[in-house]
Amino acid sequence: MMHKDAFDAGLATEAPAWEWLGKLARCFPVNHHEPGGYCLLDTSTFDLRRAFEEDPQRVQRFSQTLTDASERPLLHADFSKSHLDERVMQALLQLAEEQRVLALRDAMFEGGAINTTEQRQVMHWLLRAPTQDGLPAPLQDVWREMDAVRSAFLAFAETVRANPAITDVVNIGIGGSDLGPRMAVQALDAFVLPGKRFHFVSNVDGHELKAVLRQVQPRRTLFIIASKTFTTLETMTNAATALQWFREAEGGALADQVQDHFVGITTNLEAAAQLGIRTTFGFWDWVGGRYSVWSAIGLSLAIAIGAEQFRAFLEGAHAVDRHFQTAATEQNLPLRMGLIDVWRSSFLGHAARCMAPYHSGLQALPAYLQQLEMESNGKGVSRDGEHLRYLTAPTVWGEPGTNGQHAFFQLLHQGPHVLPVEFIAVKQIDHAWPLHHRLLLANALAQAQALMVGREDEDPQRCCPGNRPSTFLLLEALTPRTLGALLALYEHRVFVAGAVWNINSFDQFGVELGKQLAEDIVPRLESGDVRGLDPSTADLLQRLR
């Protein structure tokens, strides 16, 4: 039954806890906007080094290990190096109650249309449910339909895996139809079937497609065209070019074999058929693009790691779903981490967060999280259309360690403003060189330590102020199960932050404007017509012709 108060939250600034948090923030270093620039306003009394000295239980208080139903560890989160104390945490939990975060959570898991601007349900979590047990009655038919599609695309994945004639799989999609599968296939390289290579094409820039087609042979390649509507400009342009390349290969000898080498992930069966694509797998409007790796959009991942491991990927995420649904607020990890994200952005002025995964397999994770967080919560109006007076989603950026240390960590240690860092490390290795891993982990630990402790020096050029916040996420191993848990944790903390800010985290109208303007400019590049364009765009268009 829908929680009637799920949509009753107003602007966060109207919540009593918001005012109290604003007062508490005066005790912490705050990034501050001034007419002359953006700087650290440090009139605070809070210092991480002193916080650990004064509270021997701080690590235990602000860290948590997440396990599944069998008590197997999924991940460990240590946010004790964050700029917060117990008063702040309790006030944030009170803010969550006042903003009805858990009521909105319950509405989501009950199948409510919480995407209010598009009147859609938000049920990517259903894609992870292994059975229909415990689901609300209205969702059980939906689950059965979903499970049929899941079983079908996983069975198809197994046939491709068993076919030695297919050596290359090319996924053509963009946004959520690319970022999730690309990131996951790369992250789970240790589980990828030997003898098959996986390629991803997203950019409409023809150089990317050319580089992939140069590496593959038509007879030995399966193309996955991933677009819900089969109208996405970039995807369909790349698909048309790939089809043309395939049909013209070997003097046209393969022209009648499109159905054996192209598969569509779409609900537009008619458009797929017009291209000669007969094998298709659909998904639903209650699955947002950035939440779709769990669906048939993850077909490339399923081919790479197999149906059993793909189900383990879903299992890890489902365990986090269950935790988010059932854990007490004081021990609800997605809730706590989402609230800390609100605290950092809206109260401490942290307009950016650096992602530092210390595992090369996670090098695409920052890009994946950019879409998840900034497309979801990069909003300036509330669900009710009121303009917000507080910062929402931070800019998410980063590179794998140790590369980032030799690039932008200088700014993190000595810049004039505070930028929180999120470290991700993996305990177990998939290679035979333990020295490499000890050096990698030592650097991750040392960088988090250095940000906090800093360094005093008579030479101000060498002085590092310290007291810089970070979070540390630790996986026992990088497996389908733990990766699924990690991604679900991020999804739910983004949900929590959006619920507190009273924004709709599940639309993306800001993405559409540029697309619409591009449709107008395409013919102008051919004709040279600049009527109605602003002077800068008109001049640039002429220079590009």
The residues carrying an active-site annotation are 375, 406, 515
Taking the C-alpha atoms of residue 192 and residue 186, their distance in angstroms, rounded to an integer, is 9
Which residues have a Cβ under 8 Å from the Cβ of 10 and sit 6 or more positions away? 382, 384, 502
Taking the C-alpha atoms of residue 25 and residue 40, their distance in angstroms, rounded to an integer, is 13
Count CA atoms within 13 Å of residue 170 on its CB side: 27
Q: Which residues on neighbouring strands pair with residue 76, listed in sequence order?
A: 65, 474
- As given in the structure block, the two tokens for residue 531 are 């009527």
Amino acid found at 269: L
Q: DSSP assignment of 324-345, as one string? A: HHHS-GGG-HHHHHHHHHHIII
E-strand ranges in 266-400 read 279-281, 352-358, 395-398
Checking DSSP bridges between strand 470-475 and strand 30-34, what pairing results, if any? unpaired
Which residues have a Cβ under 8 Å from the Cβ of 379 and sit 6 or more positions away? 388, 392, 393, 498, 501, 503, 504, 505, 510
- As given in the structure block, the two tokens for residue 289 are 């693009």
Backbone φ, ψ for residue 258 (5° rounding): -55, -40
Backbone φ, ψ for residue 356 (5° rounding): -130, 80
DSSP letter, residue 124: G
Taking the C-alpha atoms of residue 507 and residue 42, their distance in angstroms, rounded to an integer, is 37
Q: Are the beta carbons of 168 and 221 closer than 8 angstroms?
A: yes
Q: Is 35 helix (H, G, I), strand (E, B) or coil?
A: coil
Taking the C-alpha atoms of residue 58 and residue 51, their distance in angstroms, rounded to an integer, is 8
CA distances from residue 271 to 100, 274, 277 in whole angstroms, order as listed: 42, 5, 9
